[in-house]
Structure 1
């Protein structure tokens, strides 16, 4: 018997339905661009609809990609805003189906320098009198797309003022002040243009923020409520640790998080950015607060804040040196950190996974790939009382990196955490740890604060480390694999959301300062005009 299986392939095409300008001003934006998916008959394909169908925008020629996805509605999708570069150039960006990238189209726009606003040069001399244009004249001569509505009102009020107070003045008198006014007039026009630019930028950022919030809510709706509560706990706990790292001042780890979540680690000096895995403190999760504290104290802040990379080449990309071996603070991570106000003043560790001698003995066949290390035993064969396990196995791998592997196939547990902890034993109490001293080959800790660094070296006193591993009691036993994937997406989007919030705050502050300067300059200019 012969079976024949046939496939039907429908050709689709993504097109721009909106009329786009041939050119636009630097720093402006394209608004409400409508895209449509057409079938082989040239009709809008209404089956392209719902959550599984979304559009992404990817800028070409060195511009940053837009990480927002826009949903299709019966074959159509509207992109509210696309930011235009801030320098004159041919701007090319691509729109594509998020799940089917072959369904794409490219858009080319000529970005041009904005014409210079100049109010004073519109004054005219007729029969010895200085004439000032009316509001209608201003409307015809000036491109209002350069300014916000509030700014247009300010400019028109300025013209009204001049029309009332200097219309009958003689040109010979005005000529005395003309040169002084020219510079101030240019400054007012430039500040007005900057205000408009900042308002447009804030509008775009606010839309992007709203869209990210919607995407997070859509992801949360798709998860079981019990698992969702666990996801919220995990995300919030990791977020708390990350903010603590960012507050560590001028450290490489703080700079890394600020740059990573702001999506500003790019350029030739960061060719290996995809091989940067993260910071040790956020690559593992534990189920007990005391365990988190003692493991963090055992490692010390230097290793908790170490940056983890896959290869030595990646590590080398983070720092450059001059011929005499001195650190070049004008390159790589140092320069990027300085650009956001962080000066890395301490040494920092970078761990290269490919350079680590991994654990090569058997591994348990579970999702966490725990190491099959035999428990300590007395000569009688008994396991010491209070023994909780080896630290390397008490760490739960972060969901982002549970499948991270070296070129040889080794995961984070066999490389990073085995390098950091080795066969560090964990006991419930200090007394039980001391009773098991003959079974401790390398080092041990207890949940009540005991630390044996190595044979013969015991740490006394107490300490509460600032940077600790995130704590979520037994979360990995509740959250399914599908929910873990959603968790990763939620974490990514929350990181992007925080970066957007910081950017909006920065732009809002700049807008307030620039607007205040505009009002001050305009007030000075208007006070001088009666003397014309």
Structure 2
């Protein structure tokens, strides 16, 4: 802990020669240089005291932030114990048959980045948790949302396509970096990062794969529906030229996705959840209709595309997907679980994510506060040097003035 402003000023005075500090009182008859030196030293003394007080304020702020961080650490520990008890008591969330199906669908894509990472995480969890490429990973797109209706799940999966459904979602770009390495010529290093991981289990990652950094997405910044536990976005219904809502309109795709409570808030450092970032980026204002006929009727108010439960797809205004589906999408959104026993664990997960987000924000605040404190301390040191020089000039001024005064 650094001394207060007054203490630092007193310490500065003690470091000076007593003759220097007393020379101000041995005045002579002069007015110009001596009085100016005294005035300047008084001004510097006042500046030093103010700067010392600011340093004390920064120290108090750092102390408060570190106290908050310690409390959050305690909360995380308590939640970990609570979640462990829920797990051992059998009330933790259990994967539904649909969840297992989604896992199997992802694992079937053996030569995809999602398939490789999911296989390693499920079969070699302890080793996978030590890999840099698993730090900051949120999950695979297809597993991060659920949809109540099978037809809606099918058409949304068709709309996004397999590559997007298998996209790897990370919190920030810093976490994305370890996924791929390049040689001196800019080519992908097939023996490094995730490609090396694939090779170690006898696989090869073919072609491109999507990786999404949540903090680099342009998040939805509007309001959410008041009182909605799912925090759906408050988007206005589309209107036909006659001012009426189109018949058969079921809602916006971004709001028809059900999100695990653990990911509703605090996924990014700015406090945005998956709906405002990932799913708004993927679907934007994509409208959902009951039938193709309804969708075509609504064309005048379709801006960011539309889909219908019977398989109709409009990518955006003027681009249509025609024909019939040959087979079900290879990766589809699961149905939400209806089990009531999962609520306590889900709520604990939500709290854990929120507390961890608060801790990340607090650590960032501590870093900023430390920089401000160190900068203020540096400026105080420079000002102190100036003050010492001024006092030395004051000491030399008085004898000179005395010699000039008449006897």
Same fold per TM (> 0.5)? yes
1:468 alignment partner in structure 2: 332
Rounded to whole Å, the distance in 2 between the matches of 1:100 and 1:410 is 22
Decide whether the 8 Å contact of 2:241 with 2:300 is kept in 1. no
1:426 alignment partner in structure 2: 288
User: For this pair of structures, how many residues does the alignment match?
Assistant: 267
1:363-374 correspondence runs (5 A): 363-365=224-226, 366-374=228-236
Rounded to whole Å, the distance in 2 between the matches of 1:292 and 1:320 is 35
C-alpha RMSD of matched pairs (Å): 2.8
**Structure 2: gaps (5+ residues):** 1-76, 351-407
Residues 253-276 of structure 1 deviation map (CA, whole Å, 9 limit, x = unaligned): 101101122213255xx4363311
Which segments of structure 1 move beyond 3 Å, counting only runs of 4 or more?
98-102, 478-481, 485-488
Decide whether the 8 Å contact of 1:319 with 1:328 is kept in 2. yes
2:257 alignment partner in structure 1: 395
Is 1:265 aligned to residue 135 of structure 2? Answer: no
1:219 alignment partner in structure 2: 89
Secondary structure of the equivalent of 2:96? helix
1:4-43 correspondence runs (5 A): none
Identify which of 134, 142, 151 aligns with 1:281.
142
1:415-494 correspondence runs (5 A): 415-463=277-325, 464-472=328-336, 475=338, 481-485=343-347
Rounded to whole Å, the distance in 2 between the matches of 1:482 and 1:321 is 45
Decide whether the 8 Å contact of 1:282 with 1:398 is kept in 2. no
The Cα shift of 1:345 comes to 1.8
Decide whether the 8 Å contact of 1:272 with 1:313 is kept in 2. no
**Structure 1: gaps (5+ residues):** 1-97, 103-211, 224-230, 489-532
Secondary structure of the equivalent of 2:251? strand
* Bigger fraction of residues in strand: 1
The Cα shift of 1:479 comes to 6.5
Rounded to whole Å, the distance in 2 between the matches of 1:298 and 1:354 is 24
1:128 alignment partner in structure 2: none
Residues 290-312 of structure 1 deviation map (CA, whole Å, 9 limit, x = unaligned): 00000000000010000001111
Identify which of 169, 182, 196 aligns with 1:335.
196
Decide whether the 8 Å contact of 1:306 with 1:351 is kept in 2. yes
1:297 alignment partner in structure 2: 158
Residues 1:450 and 1:273: Cα distance change in structure 2 (over 3 Å): same
Rounded to whole Å, the distance in 2 between the matches of 1:338 and 1:326 is 17
TM-score (norm 1): 0.47
Rounded to whole Å, the distance in 1 between the matches of 2:210 and 2:80 is 39
1:194-273 correspondence runs (5 A): 218-220=88-90, 222=91, 235-261=96-122, 262-263=124-125, 264-267=127-130, 270-271=131-132, 273=134
TM-score (norm 2): 0.60
Residues 1:363 and 1:297: Cα distance change in structure 2 (over 3 Å): same
The Cα shift of 1:407 comes to 1.2
Secondary structure of the equivalent of 2:138? strand
Decide whether the 8 Å contact of 2:267 with 2:274 is kept in 1. yes
The Cα shift of 1:280 comes to 0.2
1:343-354 correspondence runs (5 A): 343-354=204-215
Residues 289-345 of structure 1 deviation map (CA, whole Å, 9 limit, x = unaligned): 000000000000010000001111111111111111111122111112221222112
The Cα shift of 1:484 comes to 2.7
Residues 1:438 and 1:239: Cα distance change in structure 2 (over 3 Å): same
More moved, 284-293 vs 391-400: 391-400
1:77-226 correspondence runs (5 A): 218-220=88-90, 222=91
> Relative contact order: is structure 1 or structure 2 higher (C-alpha 8 Å, sep ≥ 6)?
2
Decide whether the 8 Å contact of 1:250 with 1:346 is kept in 2. no
